[in-house]
Amino acid sequence: MFPIFKYAIFLISFVSLTYARDFYSLSVIDAHGKTVSLEQYRGQVTLIVNVASECGFTDGHYKALVNTKNLLKDTGKFEILAFPCNQFDGQEPKDIGEILEFAQTKYGANFPIFAKLNVHGDDVAEIYKYLHGNSFSCIM
């Protein structure tokens, strides 16, 4: 089993194909402030994950995400979409530029990292509203 599944403490959501039409009609904001349609990920297994640079598990999580992406990248059917979030004990206080530099320089992050967002509460991002209501989610 991939280390990410064994050691993950952050939210992992697997998008159910039953709801793919709705999920892929959503848009998110990338790290550069541009709107990105999730339609471009249709037909791929898509792992949605929130990340934080100051969590005690950050090192293992980023390494596992990069290794998992490397293992599956040649299939062309797998993508990781990372969303920084500061709602868990303030473990992501950095701005998006610092987050990108950290993830890419220290870990060689080879997957898209999007703008910071909220994954719960009154100001929850649309993608997480959808995931909370329509996908299998677990905390491992």
Please report, in tens digits, the pLDDT of each residue of the chain (140 residues total).
444 443 333 334 444 444 445 889 999 999 999 999 999 999 999 999 999 999 999 999 999 999 999 999 999 999 999 999 999 999 999 999 999 999 999 999 999 999 999 999 999 999 999 988 886 655 55
Residues 6+ apart with CB under 8 A from 23: 15, 38, 130, 134, 135
pLDDT at site 132: 85
- Residue 12: helix, strand or coil by DSSP? strand
pTM of the model: 0.81
Ordered by where they begin, the domains of the chain are 3-116+131-135 (3.40.30.10)
Within the chain, residue ranges assigned H as helices are 3-7, 20-24, 58-72, 96-101, 107, 126-134
The DSSP element (H or E) to which 106 belongs, if any, is: none
pLDDT at site 136: 64
pLDDT at site 3: 46
Q: Which two tokens stand for residue 139?
A: 């905390």
Verify whether residue 55 is a known catalytic residue: yes
Check 55, 72, 100, 115 and give the catalytic one: 55
